[in-house]
Amino acid sequence: MSDQIKSVRGMPVILPQDIKKWQFVEATARSLLQLYSYNEIRTPVVEKSELFQRTIGQETDIVAKEMYTFQDRKEQSLSLRPEATAGIVRAGIEAGLFYNQSQKFWSIGPMYRYERPQKGRYRQFHQINIEAYGFPGPDIDAEIILLTTRIWKALNLNSLKLEINSLGTPKSRHIHRKELQDYFNSHKEDLDADSLRRLDHNPMRILDSKNPDLQDLIESAPKTIDFLDQASSEHFQALEAILQEHAIEYTLNTRLVRGLDYYTRTVFEWTTDQLGAQATVCGGGRYDELISELGGQATPAIGCAIGLERLIELVDLLDQNQQNDPPKIYIVAVGAQAEGQGLILAEELRDTYSNCSIEMNLGGGSFKQQFKRADKTGADIALIIGEDEIANNTISIKSMQSGEQQKSVKRKDLLDRINQFL
């Protein structure tokens, strides 16, 4: 036998036994996104590499270390998307969706980052993205936070904590950056190689470092919040006021800078203490400059992404009971004639009971074998067709859960009678 081909590291399968949880979480999010008037958008998994370099930033870990980049047959450099925002902005500009308009989009799909896989961190993972365009004020920042809060509530999650910060405008960032460079330059001997590399081009990325030896140094570094311009400061205060009005608890985390370069003003993250090191379930913020940087008309923008693997892991911990399976009917048919009748019956049932799951026993077998299969599928009722039923033009019904005696029903009455058993 030839060697078995194994999965690509960090790219797990979602097996049928786990998919119900995914469907439940996705359906919950979908209905709440609709409630807040967001429209779905689907963008390609592959984009030109330059899009991510220019938006997420060359110096970020995502672009510098984690992108799946390849050349196509025309030797253009393409990348699997490491996140969705850049592609949505690119698509929105191309389709003329931003100029003089406001838009609320959401999107779901796989993202790709060449990270070191561990629990909660994968190389293929899934995000729900929520993005809003054309709203300059703090009201939309608050609305997105309220929407995510409502998603956690609907999923019965209460371990998630909100952290917020403001990064200001490019102008205020410029002043902060200078201060930051001076600060880290005066502590150069304490920096690691990664941080030294970032010192000239993008010192704010040093604040993002996970190196435990640097944490004290980072803790005392100049903070963006102390360099905000008047308008950014008012924006942030107004956001805090709305959050307080809605009794949304949050902490100001002045070290929160996010791992992507496109953010301006508000940034936020929802974190949990229940997932070990991979604590961030949702992250986002404003990116008011990005559309003009990519050649569109300047349009204010904000969004966030929920990491589905992490979210679902939390839902898992709480043993949700909301996973309602549709009623399941299994058709047991023994003998060639019965099998033919069974297939006809299955189609009739699918016409009438479209909210049920109907499984016809395929591949023959004795009554005993077929009942065993019915049991294994978790069927609620079995419909039985054997020689007697064919001769008498009847169908026998057996409730699989209650263990009651099976009942015989006239074939013509069956479709009406089934309801009593479901």
Name the residues that contact ligand HAM, by CB under 6 A. Answer: 83-85, 113, 115, 121-122, 125, 127, 129, 131, 259-260, 280-285, 303-305, 307, 309-310
260 vs 381, which CB is nearer to ligand HAM?
Answer: 260
Q: Whole-number minimum distance, CB 112 to ligand HAM, in Å? A: 9
131 versus 163: smaller Cβ distance to ligand HAM? 131
Look at the block and give the residue holding tokens 């460079």.
Answer: 181
Nearer to ligand HAM, 296 or 303 (CB): 303
* Nearest residue to the partner ligand HAM, using Cβ: 307
Q: Residue 114 CB, nearest distance to ligand HAM (Å)?
A: 9
Half-sphere exposure (Cβ direction) of 308: Cα atoms closer than 13 Å: 24
Shortest CB 307 distance to ligand HAM, Å: 2
State how far the Cα of 237 lies from the Cα of 264, in Å rounded to an integer. 15
Choice between 168 and 342, CB closer to ligand HAM? 168
Choose between 253 and 280: whose C-beta lies nearer to ligand HAM.
280
What's the count of helices (H) and strands (E) in the chain, helices before strands? 15, 16
Q: C-beta of 66: minimal distance to ligand HAM in Å? A: 8
Q: What tokens does 361 get?
A: 């026993």
Q: In whole angstroms, how close is the CB of 68 to ligand HAM at the nearest point?
A: 12
Token pair of 91 as six digits: 């698509």
Q: Are 77 and 281 in contact (CB under 8 A)?
A: no
Least Å distance, CB 216 to ligand HAM, is: 24
- Report the residue number, 222 or 285, with the smaller CB distance to ligand HAM: 285
CA distances from 20 to 223, 274, 317, 320, 323 (A): 44, 22, 15, 11, 7
* Residues near 204 by beta carbon (within 8 Å), at least 6 away in sequence: 173, 176, 177, 180, 224, 257
Determine contact, residues 116/123, Cβ cutoff 8 Å: no
Q: Are 103 and 151 in contact (CB under 8 A)?
A: no
Query: Toward ligand HAM, which CB reaches closer, 139 or 375?
Result: 139
Among residues 322, 283, 43, the alpha carbon closest in space to that of 144 is found at 283
Q: How far is the CB of 281 from ligand HAM (least distance, A)?
A: 5
In terms of Cα–Cα distance, which of 38, 50, 121, 115 is closest to 87? 50
